[in-house]
Structure 1
């Protein structure tokens, strides 16, 4: 059991913008609050709910890949390149509304905003199942990007209001593992739902959108009941547990400082070069991430497998990626370092694309070799994204600055996805050598950006250590954001 004493003279403010606790002396041992047990309680109460929401989000954005091989493009008279334009429109909507959505979250509450977003993208995803022409498909994909844009950065910010900096890495990565898990679920669901072809006079691909969208709406409505706001108002916590969370976060960072929204704090994130490095890090991995998730069923079909078998063959690479995302995040958290693991996983993804490119002249001739390449690609891409997406959560101080930095990272990062949606064009077959080559280049870019970010953060830490000021690891509280000389960046 861990015991902390807090002087009565310190003012205690809540971990959210909704209230404050009393300022009496707190002894967690006397209050019988075991921090390990408290963390387990938080994990069981918070992580399943937000992970399910993100799984649904990723499923609803990527099931278009499963619908494509079931006849989507043929039935609405869409050319292969027009289909790619629809994919691009999704990310344009996503990028444009990322930061506004996180600002709305800061001005409202997670309990309202996260379920509302989920219902909204469930509705749009369902409508994809009834589109009749190209214009309808384009419109639905654009607005799907708009309403999904706020979920991931919103949840990353939300988790930062509950966990210490070094504890967020594992939680963010675990939450992100829903992306690869959705790929596995998507393959299973598409295999089964596609057999409904003809039911109600509708094609099988329409039922993929309709059923998965309706499930999202139902779970989004239930989310109003199981999403909680901030520790100060959490009914599942005792008063002693609330005070424990408050003090743990105040000792670790500025997460518990009461902070109203100001545009000055928004500009602080935009002006910080380190925030732009985090953006570049995800940009380098978003292109491989989304080209794999959006084109894997097509890539496998091009190897000569039937549609039904291709749906099932998408499952093993995603299952491996899910397992590795959790394992690598756990090891990274224990070692309290990110860059070496991010560098290594990007290298694994690069090996995957090298294998795919080695078969580019006739991939169907040796399908097993090309299929092996998808395992390496998935095994590197998903753990890498989980790692790089957690960097702003642990290294950016100030509630508004952290919310904006996270949204910036996703927005600018997804510009890579915008370009990636145009790489797997019909004229680049067989082999998809252009798409695989650019994805390989981006994996190498990820390794370069990782090395540069680690260098900048290490140099900044050394500058602050040279001032002779103890770092935050020593338990100093009352930090004034990440510009405080006591703040130490996690590399």
Structure 2
């Protein structure tokens, strides 16, 4: 520990400060992501409440709308993170939340198929900036070893959204006929208005960066600056440059991070979009299926937090992606091999319990390992864009004609999970080899790792610098 940090730590309780940061930073962005995931996945609940019949869609036309959401999301993720870098979190994150809340609410009054397609596409556009934006945002506050646990807490809102979504859809479904609207319309309208209210308040809840956050004292700002200065590039004054965007595009590791998310996103997206339908086709009524979506998501929430804690304590990423992916494989094997409703339902629990914790750690990995600020912002957005292309494929797999066993969807999901284990294993090897190479270079040049080197000098080369150690 450097002299500067040692002196500051005598005045600041680091654990208490971290709790303060968690309390101030995580609740607003986690709530926004919970509502974001709720607004994108409630279309599966709406389907059971009459959406397809009222809009006069076929099953395949319904799937086209799901794919258009992914298209809008993927196209605008990188531009949204560039806008975030040019503006500020307090302005950008609530503003995009207002935008998607508006689209989500208006989806409740669509009257035809083109309206359905437009609502899905623009919902994807509006939601595209939240997840990569928050991952980058947290990397500007926490040390590298602390980030993935916070990202996992943030991402756990997705599983909570699934659990709440089932209960809300079951309750709101009983409003069919109120105001002359069917139940699916009220699902979109009420959940969209809830998001709008939270988004409006988040202009007050979301802070920018440590140097300007109003809830910190001058000493706390100095301490945060010092602890990040000896850990990452978060406190460097880096202006936006297109050359740093190109660095992300040219780095093979960034593409591997994206492929790692791509291979987990397909089963994750398909499960969250089609879980009510999958359970319904096992033989359960629509109302029962809405409620039966709750246990898989609740168990996934517990697993996401627990595995994130284990990953943090062991300071390892790759094993805690591969093991949950293997657990999800078991779930899909059960779904493929069993026709009994109760046993197949257990398969959905295994699948959710593996998919959510694996995804939480995958998405935090580049935030830990990519350095320069602009490069990291672009890398985060690239990873999620590439990952969500898996969602575009997954949205087309659970076709009406493959009901009720859905062999196509379950089979492709299983294949993608096996590919995920292979990709993550390859990335693990690449990062380990890079660390060995950097260690040799440090020894030959008499350098110390970043944690021991002190303040970054003007010659710091980002994650290409030999002092930068990749987290495995």
In the alignment, the residues of structure 2 paired with residue 456 and residue 255 of structure 1 have an alpha-carbon distance, to the nearest angstrom, of 25
In the alignment, the residues of structure 2 paired with residue 430 and residue 311 of structure 1 have an alpha-carbon distance, to the nearest angstrom, of 17
- Match of 2:417, SS state, is helix
Contact 2:372 2:462 (C-alpha < 8 Å) held by counterparts: yes
In the alignment, the residues of structure 2 paired with residue 174 and residue 132 of structure 1 have an alpha-carbon distance, to the nearest angstrom, of 38
Q: Does 2:250 correspond to 1:271? A: yes
In the alignment, the residues of structure 2 paired with residue 475 and residue 152 of structure 1 have an alpha-carbon distance, to the nearest angstrom, of 32
Q: Does 2:419 correspond to 1:445? A: yes
Q: Does 2:216 correspond to 1:231? A: no
Among 425, 440, 449, which residue is 1:471 paired with?
449
> Which residue does the alignment assign to 1:327?
306
Among 234, 239, 243, which residue is 1:260 paired with?
239
> Which residue does the alignment assign to 1:354?
333
CA RMSD in angstroms, aligned pairs only: 1.1
> Which residue does the alignment assign to 1:13?
none
How far apart are 1:114 and its partner, in Å? Answer: 0.2
> Which residue does the alignment assign to 1:124?
103
How far apart are 1:449 and its partner, in Å? Answer: 0.4
Query: Residues 418-433 of structure 1 correspond to what in structure 2 (within 5 A)?
Result: 418-433=392-407
How far apart are 1:428 and its partner, in Å? Answer: 1.1
Among 28, 32, 46, which residue is 1:67 paired with?
46
Query: Following superposition, which runs of at least 4 residues in structure 1 exceed 6 angstroms of deviation?
Result: none
In the alignment, the residues of structure 1 paired with residue 26 and residue 110 of structure 2 have an alpha-carbon distance, to the nearest angstrom, of 34
> Which residue does the alignment assign to 2:374?
400
Query: Residues 197-208 of structure 1 correspond to what in structure 2 (within 5 A)?
Result: 197-208=176-187
Q: Does 2:381 correspond to 1:374? A: no
Contact 1:78 1:134 (C-alpha < 8 Å) held by counterparts: yes
Contact 1:4 1:28 (C-alpha < 8 Å) held by counterparts: no
> Which residue does the alignment assign to 1:251?
230
Query: Residues 280-295 of structure 1 correspond to what in structure 2 (within 5 A)?
Result: 280-295=259-274
User: Compared with structure 1, are the counterparts of its residues 197 and 253 closer, same or farther at alpha carbon in structure 2 (3 Å cutoff)?
Assistant: same
- Match of 1:431, SS state, is coil
In the alignment, the residues of structure 1 paired with residue 9 and residue 122 of structure 2 have an alpha-carbon distance, to the nearest angstrom, of 51
Contact 1:266 1:404 (C-alpha < 8 Å) held by counterparts: yes
- Match of 1:439, SS state, is helix
> Which residue does the alignment assign to 1:482?
463
In the alignment, the residues of structure 1 paired with residue 312 and residue 286 of structure 2 have an alpha-carbon distance, to the nearest angstrom, of 40
Per-residue deviation, residues 274-320 of structure 1 (Å, max 9, x unmatched)? 10110000000000110000000000000111111100000000000
> Which residue does the alignment assign to 2:316?
337
- Match of 2:468, SS state, is coil
Per-residue deviation, residues 81-100 of structure 1 (Å, max 9, x unmatched)? 00000000000000000100
> Which residue does the alignment assign to 1:6?
4
Unaligned segments of structure 1, at least 5 residues: 8-25
In the alignment, the residues of structure 2 paired with residue 430 and residue 443 of structure 1 have an alpha-carbon distance, to the nearest angstrom, of 22
In the alignment, the residues of structure 2 paired with residue 37 and residue 253 of structure 1 have an alpha-carbon distance, to the nearest angstrom, of 21
Query: Residues 161-172 of structure 1 correspond to what in structure 2 (within 5 A)?
Result: 161-172=140-151
In the alignment, the residues of structure 1 paired with residue 368 and residue 188 of structure 2 have an alpha-carbon distance, to the nearest angstrom, of 36
How far apart are 1:119 and its partner, in Å? Answer: 0.6
Among 296, 299, 302, which residue is 2:278 paired with?
299
- Match of 1:482, SS state, is helix
How far apart are 1:429 and its partner, in Å? Answer: 1.7
Query: Residues 87-98 of structure 1 correspond to what in structure 2 (within 5 A)?
Result: 87-98=66-77
How far apart are 1:255 and its partner, in Å? Answer: 1.3
In the alignment, the residues of structure 2 paired with residue 472 and residue 356 of structure 1 have an alpha-carbon distance, to the nearest angstrom, of 47
> Which residue does the alignment assign to 1:110?
89
> Which residue does the alignment assign to 1:11?
none
- Match of 1:233, SS state, is coil
Higher helix share: 2
- Match of 1:232, SS state, is coil
How far apart are 1:27 and its partner, in Å? Answer: 2.3
- Match of 2:77, SS state, is helix
Unaligned segments of structure 2, at least 5 residues: none
- Match of 2:207, SS state, is coil
- Match of 1:368, SS state, is helix
- Match of 1:252, SS state, is coil
In the alignment, the residues of structure 2 paired with residue 262 and residue 6 of structure 1 have an alpha-carbon distance, to the nearest angstrom, of 31
